[in-house]
Chains A and B, each alone.
Chain A
Amino acid sequence: MWTTLEQIFPYAIVFTVPLLITALGALFSERSGVVNIGLEGLMIMGSFVGAFVIFKMQQLWPGQPFVLWVGLLVATVAGILFSLLHAFASINLNANQIISGTAINMIAGALTVFLARNMTGSGNIRITSGFVPFDIPGLVKIPVLGPLLFAKTYPTTWLVLLIVFISSFVLYKTPFGLRLRACGEYPQAAEAAGIRVRWMRYVGVMISGAFAGLGGAVIMVTYAGEFTGSVAGLGFLALASLIFGQWKPLGVLAATMFFGFASTVANVSQVIPSLSAIPPVILKVFPYAVTLLALIVFSKSSNAPKAAGEPFDSSKR
């Protein structure tokens, strides 16, 4: 059993990381008062732009790892730019945020494949190489924890974990975090206190665009290696993780770990004797069913930002 756990742990983490960073971005957006259901689209955009940049640069500098980092950076910027469409519609135009987010998902899914097909003819973009997992020297020798946390890790995992801790600090310990949260709870009071609500909401949405774009690109440079025009519902799963995690960074970390593990277990169940007795359909359905149950349990004490989803109207004081 222990060896099984040691084996699947690294895979579970690899699957968790893009989900985690995307859900974390959405945390900023929703805390500022803008619901972002367009995460799936933002991830697809990040995965597309990342794939395109890396594909082009690998022809010039084959085998250079810096190319992957440039790809991640450009994907992050692309996520920001694309998220502006959602920000503009929901902040300036008072559009229904769920509809605007749906439009973001549709535009990304269609436009990226359209462009990819124009460039490669097939709609897929394959990069020649992604990051190679490595054991962290020294730390991997720590008993128990070493093989679980420090074996076969990707550099992007550590980057994302760093971002999680910085985000947590920013959100709870800085004036900026306080202002951002105020805009999602009671924007009229925030405005009365001299905070520029619309600007803060723009920042919230842009952070979610940046993180989702990064998340989409991380999928591509770690386990996927190819842009295919879809991120298989991970954006929606990130949204569910955000709600499951009750709009808190550590809660989101726990919720995404749960999804990462549940999916990995379901994926490898057939090769593990102790799990192969369970029908695979039960393992696959399990995370979604548990989410529904969790939502029922949490529904009495939801920590959702109170103004999330509502257009800001400063006359409503």
Chain B
Amino acid sequence: MNNSVKSLLAVLLGLLAGALLMAVTGHNPLQGYKFLVEGGLKNPERIGNTLATATPLIFTGLSVAFAFRTGLFNIGAAGQMLFGGFCATAIGLTMDLPRALLLLLMVVAGMVGGALWGLIPGILKAKFNVHEVVSTIMMNWICYWTVYYAVPSYFKGDYLETESKQLPEAALLRNPFLSDLFGGSYINLGLFIALAAVAVIAFVIGKTTLGYELKAVGFNRHAAEYAGIAVNRGIVLSMLISGALAGLGGVALYAGNASSIQIGILPSQGFDGIAVALLGASSPLGVLASAVFFGLLYSGRGFMNAMTEIPPEIADSIIAIIIYFAAAGILIERWIRAIAGRRAAKGRKVVPDHVDYP
């Protein structure tokens, strides 16, 4: 069955489960969804905020999806994102350069920081066969504590101990023209970098030798090796690119949607990237669509929470249930086959092939 049909069915089941959850806890699901959608799309500002919320998710979704294609499960997008964002923030707070150059340097720093954080698990996997799920989790925590102590010691905020200094206006991805166009939304240039990344990754996966080799490694590592593909190099490269994408997500989050780094939290967008990649069936365009959908749920939930008594965590619950159904894709397939089978059986009864006349 087609991947997009499967994903749409998973979304539908997730929304149904969300409605059930609202009903069971004594709320009106129709009203809940109405305010959720209005909260995300009601006016240009809200649409802008939805797209801005989706931006880091596009990056982390692409990151996880790219690694998936090579058969790697990158659970460390959160750490890569945080470290990339931290590197970009460090540049933004210390360098005094013309705006265009500064932003360019920050973007590069974010990519390099994230790539470094992805490179280490890549090398460990290729050289020592250390499972990337465990090593990326360890890298997440190493980054968490590094940033936890580095931010207060070097870039302490003016008012709060728990966050970095605010980035100056010149070091932010915000653009007055864009903000005004969307009624003062916090939409920013990160979105365009994200769209470019979608195009580049789609090209790399679909049209280049590198993409072909990485996919071959993902389908069957041993066959790829037999065919002369440098499997270990592919694994390292894939984690490197995956980390760089997550690092860009960090730039978009900390220098676009926000303007400082908070310590003591791993960015949740890193983990949501797994969900985005799964729902998007690891295709770049699928990632884009599912990131925007999750962006809508996340940016609409505040309005829903203000207008009704429904807790905002309903959005996370819906996403989580969608992912369960996406993982259990075979279940959906079986249901469809069962329904189709019953229809076919009914159809046969209408025209019996043997009739006994009295």
Contacts and interface: CB of A to CB of B under 8 A. Distances in A.
Interface residues of A, number: 43
A296 B134 CA distance: 12
Nearest to B305: A117
A63 to B, nearest CB: 31
A240 B141 CA distance: 12
A113 B313 contact: yes
A106 B275 contact: yes
A243 B317 contact: no
B327 A281 contact: no
Interface string B301-317: 00000000001011011
A128 interface: no
How large, as a class, is the contact surface on chain B? 35 or more
A299 B133 contact: no
Contact of A107 (B25, B134, B148, B317): B317
B145 A98 contact: no
Interface string A187-231: 000000000000000000000000000000000000000000000
A123 B311 contact: yes
Nearest to B314: A114
B199 interface: no
Contact of A89 (B124, B128, B313, B328): B328
B142 A289 contact: yes
Contact of A95 (B129, B141, B321, B327): B327
B330 interface: yes
A279 B328 contact: no
Interface string B143-160: 001101110000000000
A281 B151 CA distance: 12
Contact of A110 (B139, B149, B319): B319
Given A240-B137, A284-B148, A103 B124 contact: no
Interface string A84-114: 0100110001111011101110110111011
Interface in A119-166: 123
B124 A288 contact: no
B73 interface: yes
Contact of B25 (A93, A94, A118): A118
Contacts of A167: none
A110 B128 contact: no
Contact of B324 (A103, A280, A285): A103
Interface in B93-138: 124, 128-131, 133-135, 137-138
23 contacts: A85-B324, A89-B328, A93-B331, A95-B328, A95-B329, A102-B75, A114-B25, A114-B314, A117-B311, A118-B25, A123-B313, A233-B141, A239-B137, A243-B131, A279-B149, A285-B142, A288-B142, A289-B142, A295-B128, A295-B134, A296-B124, A296-B130, A299-B129
Interface of A: 37, 85, 88-89, 93-96, 98-100, 102-104, 106-107, 109-111, 113-115, 117-118, 123, 233, 236, 239-240, 243, 279-281, 284-285, 288-289, 291-292, 295-296, 299, 302
